[in-house]
Amino acid sequence: MDAPWRQVAAGRGRARGRATAVPLSGNGVPFGGAGGGRAKGSGGAVSSGPGPGGAAALAPAGRGQRSAGGEAPQPPGARGEDGSELMSQKKFEEIKKSNQAAARKLLEEHCSSSSEEEGDEDLEGKQGKIVANTFTTYTTHTDGDIHELERTKQYLNEAFQAGAMTCLICIASVKRNQAVWSCSGCFCIFHMPCIQKWAKDSQFLVSSVTDDDFGKKDYPWPCPKCRFEYKRSETPSRYYCYCGKVEDPPLDPWLVPHSCGQVCEREFKPSCGHKCLLLCHPGPCPPCPKMVTTTCYCKKAKPIPRRCSAKQWSCQLPCGRKLLCGHHKCENPCHAGNCQPCPRVSRQKCVCGKKVAERSCASPVWHCDQVCGKTLPCGNHTCEQVCHVGACGECPRSGKRSCPCQKSKFSLPCTEDVPTCGDSCDKILECGIHRCSQRCHRGPCETCRQEVEKQCRCGKHTKRMPCHKPYLCETKCVKMRDCQKHQCRRKCCPGNCPPCDQNCGRTLGCRNHKCPSVCHRGSCYPCPETVDVKCNCGNAKVTVPCGRERTTRPPKCKELCSRPPTCHHASQEKHRCHFGPCPPCHQPCQKVLEKCGHLCPESCHDQALVKQTGRHQPSGPWEQPAEPAFIQTALPCPPCQVPIPVECLGKHEVSPLPCHAVGPYSCKRLCGRMLRCQNHTCMKECHKVTEVDSSTGKNKAGPECFHCEEGCSKSRPAGCPHPCVLPCHPGKCPPCVQMLRIKCHCKITSLYVECRKITTADVSEKNLLSCCKNQCPKELPCGHRCKEMCHPGECPFNCNQKVKLRCPCKRIKRELPCNKVRENQVSVECDATCKEMKRKASEVKEAEANAALEEEKRRQQAELEAFENRLKGRRKKSRKRDEVAVELSPWQKYKSYLLPVCAVVVAVLMWYIFHGVD
């Protein structure tokens, strides 16, 4: 995969510039016809593809390019007919508008984000949800600490940020729909074709150093960033997700790019037996969040639950383990690994015991710089070793010793030197071919001086010369070095040409630097430099690989813009750092208005955009009309809108009016002032009123108000149905003197009374006026007529008429007043005669009842005997059905005699039985 600048340099006919404009001919068709290159630039005016300005824009131009006969169209105005000229002009305008719309749409698409890059707000909201879903299992299921995910979160943010993920091999952005490979050492992401080519080239370069082992050894290949080495078998051949579970993971806008969306389940590093709980993610796995029970380093404290990633802990108690010196104990807090050397100092003897010095207790064994000097067992020589341990050993000159040529051995005292044997030395010389021809001698042998036929290193020339001298010819090597660009040019080269030592100097993919390495084959390493893409003020920056600064968006800066204001305000509104001109000032103008002296409350209008008028008009259809231009100018302050309290004409209310519109006004209400009649108000709309008497207030009508012409409408006294005969007047109405017809209390007689007497009378007077002086015709509850005179309400219940009253047995009769009888105040009681008569009557009734009871018993007995006779089958012939013959049985006749006899017999039998048994 070539870098973008290589594709441009290849000359494939693609215009990739940002604002590459395609020149148009007079009828809107680009020069070069339909066979021209495709315009991919954002500012291209015409496109031959299916884009916005493709066939739709070229079709009208193609139709207008040639006539039906194949001739070129004539310019407007060359034809004679006005209709054809207007038609050509109309078509020309349509083609021009379509081309302009296509160019504007392409420009907007370029200025906006690419097809992969979403809006900032949508991207931030979606990114937050995806990151939260990725970390849900880690933070919820295991209660993991979110601060331990900062490094992983950084990789996730880079995966979402446009241009942040860059392939260091081709210096191009890594798209979401491209196959990628991630390094397991530095977690850097590369394009799959790029890393495959990199691995192949790296193995070829290493294996082609010598011709002997070319292609025979399995050479590793390194990661372009961290140089982590991989085997040839580990060369990526398939596209997998980050966790390696899914091959060719589908593109999902709600997942991390190149992720499968499943749980990662990769083992933590260092391995602890647990697996990662995040969803498939880029970058390293976070620390293990599992809880394990573990003890401290020194094993003294009780085991406590801790995170698996931080299960090693110190109880901070003294270690207490014995140090290597064997005398002291470790005083450091509980720690991991071996204890530190003993920090104390003590006086210690050397190995030979001649010197004593203060030394660190951690290194008690030491050697001084004095020679041993002890006499050897031979008694003639002393030990020449420096401060050693143990015995000095035997004398090195004792026993059998060889001569210098090692051919003869002699047994001599240690005080005598070994003589030479006189034989030839015969040792191999430095040349490794010939031997020394001198007699046995002490010291090194001389150099070889024999003349031999020598061949140079490159094997092209031979020469006879002394054996100890090397032979190098003057022939220069013409082989190509490993860079395959320069010759070896070394004299008498044996064939293993050294690597090229010249500087590569090729321009790297960033187009900013040159390769600093020695001359080599294949592609150069990616540029190691990084560039900071800064915001306008330089406080916020994003570090990107060199070469990506031209296509990387500047970062969002949270600092405030520090540019001076361009309006009359002392300071501008607070807004973040940005490129281009500052936004319009929205602060209140606060200028002092000339007419009223108030401050202008509107937003700042010192630099308002105003459409420019009176511009040059196009002289013909071939001249393209320019867009309406806007110029910045200071607008005058608007009319003052400060509310001023102003009273209306009728002095009904005080309303706030804008300062520029202050003046007399009508509130549109009714006047409402009290007229002279003191009964009605003025019905005119709010108007100016001349105050006659200021002491009476604002409610009195003036000469400008209405004059009342209505009749009196005051309410009449209760009960008076007659209206007032006077016109509308102040004060009370006169008493009513008309006659009023009323009914008396009995509702029988009609009476005529003056209205004023009725309305002014009280209750008792009204009762007298309504009385007809006749007896009341109403009937009392007792049935007698009321004896009172015509009266209101219910009749009094005091009837004194005589009524007859009898005793309970109705024998005694008396006459008493009706009201006493009704109130049960008197009564008539029965005397002794009445009681005797009642007793006799009760005895007669009792005798009759007893007789009836006896008769009922006899009847029931007769029915019983008749029923028994029918059961026995007896039939008594009786002439009279009403008579029944009753005949007693023997038992009924003699039972009174038989019962005692039977009792006596039973008693005798019982006595006999008991006494007979005994």
Task: Specify the pLDDT at position 3.
Answer: 37
| Res. 580: pLDDT tops 80 | yes
Give the model confidence (pLDDT) of 277-295 as tens digits.
888 888 888 888 888 888 8
The pLDDT value given to residue 486: 85
Task: Report DSSP state, residue 42.
Answer: T
pLDDT in tens, 111-136: 433 333 334 444 445 555 666 666 66
Instruction: For residue 454, give the H/E element and its range.
Output: strand 451-455
Q: Which residues contact 777 (CB under 8 A, 6 or more apart)?
A: 746, 748, 785, 786
Q: What is the average per-residue pLDDT within 796-815?
A: 79
Q: Please tell me the pTM assigned to this model.
A: 0.37
Total H helices, total E strands in the chain: 12, 24
Q: Picking from 134-138, 477-481, 708-712, 764-768, which range would have the lowest pLDDT averaged per residue?
A: 134-138
Q: Which of 216-225, 449-458, 634-643 has the lowest mean pLDDT?
A: 216-225
Nearest to 797 by CA among 785, 814, 812, 811: 785
What is the C-alpha separation between 129 and 133, in angstroms, rounded? Answer: 6
* Cα(469)–Cα(400) distance, integer angstroms: 39
**pLDDT classification of 173: cutoffs 50, 70, 90:** confident
* 214-218, 307-311, 738-742: least confident range: 214-218
Q: What is the DSSP letter of 145?
A: -
pLDDT at 63: 34
pLDDT beyond 70 at 545: yes
208 pLDDT band, cuts 50/70/90, is low
**226 pLDDT more than 70:** yes
Which pLDDT band, with edges at 50, 70 and 90, does 146 fall under? low
Pairwise CA distance, residues 531 & 543, whole Å: 6
Residue 680 reports pLDDT greater than 70: yes
- At 390-431, the pLDDT tens digits run 888 888 888 788 888 888 888 888 888 888 888 888 888 888
Contact status, residue 576 vs residue 557, Cβ threshold 8 Å = yes
Determine the longest span between alpha carbons in the chain, in angstroms. Answer: 205
Q: What percent of the chain shows pLDDT beyond 90?
A: 1
pLDDT mean over 19-24: 33
**Structure confidence by residue, pLDDT tens digits, 323-352:** 887 788 888 889 888 888 888 888 888 888
Query: Which DSSP state fits 293?
Result: E
Give the pLDDT confidence score for residue 4 in this predicted structure.
35
Q: Is the pLDDT of residue 880 over 50?
A: no
What confidence score (pLDDT) does residue 144 get? 47
Q: How far apart are CA 112 and CA 116, in angstroms?
A: 11
**Across 21-35, 105-119, 767-781, 788-802, least confident range:** 21-35
pLDDT computed for residue 798 by the predictor: 77
pLDDT band per the 50, 70, 90 thresholds, residue 821: confident
Asked if 11 contacts 2 with a C-beta cutoff of 8 angstroms, the reply is no
**Which domains occur in the chain, in start order?**
145-289 (3.30.40.10), 642-736 (no CATH), 739-785 (no CATH), 802-829 (no CATH)
| pLDDT at position 698 | 67
Per DSSP, 75 falls in state P
Q: What does the mean pLDDT of the chain come to? A: 76
Radius of gyration of the chain measured on its C-alpha atoms? 69
Is 50 exceeded by the pLDDT of residue 56? no
What one-character-per-residue DSSP string does 645-702 give? EEE-TTS--EEEEEGGG-S-----SB---B-TTSS-B--SBS-----S-GGG-TTB--
* Residue 636 pLDDT greater than 80, yes or no: yes
The pLDDT of residue 395 is 84
Q: Distances in Å between the alpha carbon of 288 and those of 136, 138, 142, 181, 185?
A: 15, 9, 10, 25, 19
Mean pLDDT of all residues in 620-636:
71
Q: Which of 88-92, 148-152, 166-170, 516-520 has the lowest mean pLDDT?
A: 148-152
Q: Looking at this protein, which amino acid is placed at residue 232? A: R
Residue 799 has pLDDT above 50, yes or no: yes
Residue ranges in 393-534 assigned as alpha helix (H): none
Q: What is the DSSP string of 714-749?
A: PPPPTT--PPPSSBS-SSPPPPP--EEEEE-TTSSS
pLDDT number for residue 251: 83
Q: How many CB atoms lie within 10 A of CB 908?
A: 10
Comparing 102 with 861, the larger pLDDT belongs to: 861
Q: Is the pLDDT of residue 775 over 60?
A: yes
Of 279, 234, 229, whose CA–CA distance to 257 is shortest?
279
